[in-house]
Amino acid sequence: MTPKLLIDTHVHLNNYHESERRPTAENVQILFSEMDALGVDHAVVITSYKVNQDRPSAEEVLDLLAGDPRATIVEGLRWRGEERTDLFTLEERIQDGIVKGIKLYPGYDLYPINDPSLEAVFRIAAKHDVPVMIHTGDTYSRTAKVRMAHPLLVDDVAVDHPDVKIVMCHLGNPWFQDAAEVLYKNDNVFADISGLTLGKFTYEFERYVAMRLKEMIIYMGDPGKQLMYGSDWPLVEMGPYLRFLEELEFAPEDLEHIAWQTAAALFKIDTAPLLARRAARETP
Ligand SMILES: [Zn+2]
């Protein structure tokens, strides 16, 4: 069963291998061609916690994508490195509606999810009603501190900022049970199912993750309320991840929420041009 639309709430334009170093404009083209090939209508593009030749700045990504109906831009917070996010500039972009969310990288950037210094960031999110995405669980870096990204810490910020909508990324992998509790307890917390593998799934690991996710859903109750589809492309391949979504066998109504409706509401994505584009493609 195919949902009416498909929004991938979690993609990046970074280069992850020196051997495949490409300009950002080229990565955008690859992203759009993958999306077209697989029927993904829209992507939430997330910038990094650092900027270098492999990690484009928010400015660069905005130059390439602002105004494109197929993309929403979420700005990564650069909080502990040399070049830090200027909150005034970030707030201006949010106010202008070109940045539609903030992403925190606890553990990678060395602070915990409940760090008091983030107060100002959550205040901006509350004021402009934009979601705060938070990396949780396993880190794709040996220098990151994974304890700082434990999903249980999301409860602290969800309670302290009840007017902020929070997206827990990667379901706290491998602390799925803790993530399920935080979701069950807090109505202002959502989660994307992205990044639960690298590249393609192996058969055993895909079954393992699908089982954990189904257990989470039994605990949480209604999966259509808080879960969203996301891949973590290009770290994850889009095709296998879409098959993983199918394997989770959500009820049709839940699937519509997970595949696009919840994301469209949260990131305030205009779905009219996406539905029109789909209709035009499906009419022979
Ligand atoms: Zn990611």
Domain encompassing residue 270: 7-282
Domain assignment present for 1: no
Domain assignment present for 181: yes
Cα of 194 vs centre of ligand 1, distance in Å, is 7
Domain assignment present for 2: no
Cα of 273 vs centre of ligand 1, distance in Å, is 26
CATH number of the domain to which 130 belongs: 3.20.20.140
Cα of 10 vs centre of ligand 1, distance in Å, is 6
Cα of 96 vs centre of ligand 1, distance in Å, is 25
Cα of 283 vs centre of ligand 1, distance in Å, is 34
Domain assignment present for 130: yes
Cα of 232 vs centre of ligand 1, distance in Å, is 5
Quickly count: other Cβ atoms within 10 Å of residue 251's Cβ: 11
Cα of 2 vs centre of ligand 1, distance in Å, is 25
Cα of 197 vs centre of ligand 1, distance in Å, is 11
What pLDDT was estimated at residue 124? 98
Cα of 12 vs centre of ligand 1, distance in Å, is 6
The total domain count for the chain is 1
Cα of 240 vs centre of ligand 1, distance in Å, is 16
Cα of 165 vs centre of ligand 1, distance in Å, is 18
Task: Dump pLDDT digits (tens) for 81-91.
Answer: 888 999 999 99
Low-confidence spans in the chain with pLDDT less than 50? none
Cα of 24 vs centre of ligand 1, distance in Å, is 16
Mean pLDDT of the chain: 95
Cα of 1 vs centre of ligand 1, distance in Å, is 27
Domain assignment present for 91: yes
Cα of 105 vs centre of ligand 1, distance in Å, is 9
Residue pointed to by tokens 């996301």: 230
What pLDDT was estimated at residue 18? 78
Domain assignment present for 154: yes
Domain assignment present for 80: yes
Cα of 284 vs centre of ligand 1, distance in Å, is 36
Task: Dump pLDDT digits (tens) for 225-244.
Answer: 999 999 999 999 999 999 99
pTM for the full predicted model: 0.96
Domain assignment present for 98: yes
Cα of 34 vs centre of ligand 1, distance in Å, is 17
What pLDDT was estimated at residue 199? 82
What pLDDT was estimated at residue 197? 86
